[in-house]
């Protein structure tokens, strides 16, 4: 196996001086290709900060992050966003869909950024929506969908670019039990088809879907639970 994510002595400080918050304090983490990793830890321990850096949505203050062997520290913002578009699918607790546009248009969006032509965009977005069981909801807007359906649209959007890595920050945090089960089932299938999945949760039942769980305490990886 080869690592797809390698993080060494990662530090992230928000703000400066007296009000500085040290969110990550020398965090080390390796994730193998095809792994399904759960990240647990108390609120405020730095989990989202870590995932945002892994997803190239934010950069560390210091330390090293190798993504697929590439040192992301040498990249500028534009290169990082290209890397993100090509390799990473991100799923948020609050879905983060574009409100006044259809499920289909939401899922097509990453392909617009990737420069995929309209006909192919449509075809791939429809296939992704089909994969999450929303074939009959493609023309609905987010406010016409349940929370679980909105999260499935968000997952379709995350996987439409065929990313090697799917990062999910408490994806079931706003969902009822049945919708949570749907979403976790989809993540399980994505992992079974070879994608690396990294998921943040504070529920043991959710973490049980992963192969490995790490616990973040005060901005560092504490114990490794199998």
Ligand X SMILES: Nc1ncnc2c1ncn2[C@@H]1O[C@H](COP(=O)(O)OP(=O)(O)O)[C@@H](O)[C@H]1O
Q: Which residues bind ligand X (CB under 6 A)?
A: 14-15, 21, 23, 41, 43-49
Q: How many chain residues touch Mg ion (CB under 5 A)? A: 1
For residue 208 the two structure tokens come to 């049980």
Distance CA 169, CA 171 (A): 5
Which residue lies nearer to Mg ion by CB, 170 or 182? 170
Least spacing, CB of residue 44 vs Mg ion, in Å? 8
SS3 label, residue 27? strand
Shortest spacing between CB 170 and Mg ion, in angstroms: 6
Question: Nearest approach, Cβ of 30 to Mg ion (angstroms)?
Answer: 21
Find the part of the chain contacting Mg ion (CB under 5 A) among 1-9, 47-55, 100-108, 123-131: 47-55
| Residue 15: CB minimum distance to ligand X, A | 6
What is the DSSP secondary-structure string of 42-69? Answer: -TTSSHHHHHHHHTTSS--SEEEEEETT
Of 24, 37, 48, 56, the residue at the interface with Mg ion (CB under 5 A) is: 48
- Where would I find the H helices in 55-139? 77-87, 103-113, 118-131
Q: Which residues pair with 47 in a beta bridge?
A: none
Residues β-bridged to residue 11: 25, 62
Residues that bind Mg ion (CB under 5 A): 48
């Amino acid at each position: 196996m080869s690592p797809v994510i390698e993080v060494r002595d990662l530090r992230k400080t928000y703000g400066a001086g007296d009000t500085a918050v040290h969110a990550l304090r020398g965090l080390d983490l390796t994730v193998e290709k095809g792994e399904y990793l759960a990240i647990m830890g108390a609120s405020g321990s730095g989990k989202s900060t870590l995932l945002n850096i892994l997803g190239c949505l934010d950069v560390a203050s210091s330390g090293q992050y190798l993504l697929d062997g590439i040192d992301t520290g040498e990249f500028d913002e534009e290169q990082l966003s290209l890397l993100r578009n090509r390799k990473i699918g991100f799923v948020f607790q609050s879905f983060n869909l574009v409100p006044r546009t259809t499920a289909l248009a939401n899922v097509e969006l990453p392909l617009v950024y990737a420069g995929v032509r309209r006909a192919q965009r449509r075809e791939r977005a429809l296939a992704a929506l089909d994969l999450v069981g929303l074939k009959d909801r493609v023309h609905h807007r987010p406010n016409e969908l349940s929370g679980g359906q909105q999260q499935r649209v968000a997952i379709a959007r995350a996987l439409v670019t065929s990313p090697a890595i799917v990062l999910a920050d408490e994806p079931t945090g706003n969902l009822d039990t049945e919708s949570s089960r749907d979403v976790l089932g989809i993540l399980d299938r994505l992992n079974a088809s070879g994608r690396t999945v990294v998921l943040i949760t504070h529920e043991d039942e959710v973490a049980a879907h992963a192969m490995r769980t790490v616990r973040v305490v005060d901005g560092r990886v504490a114990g490794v639970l199998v």
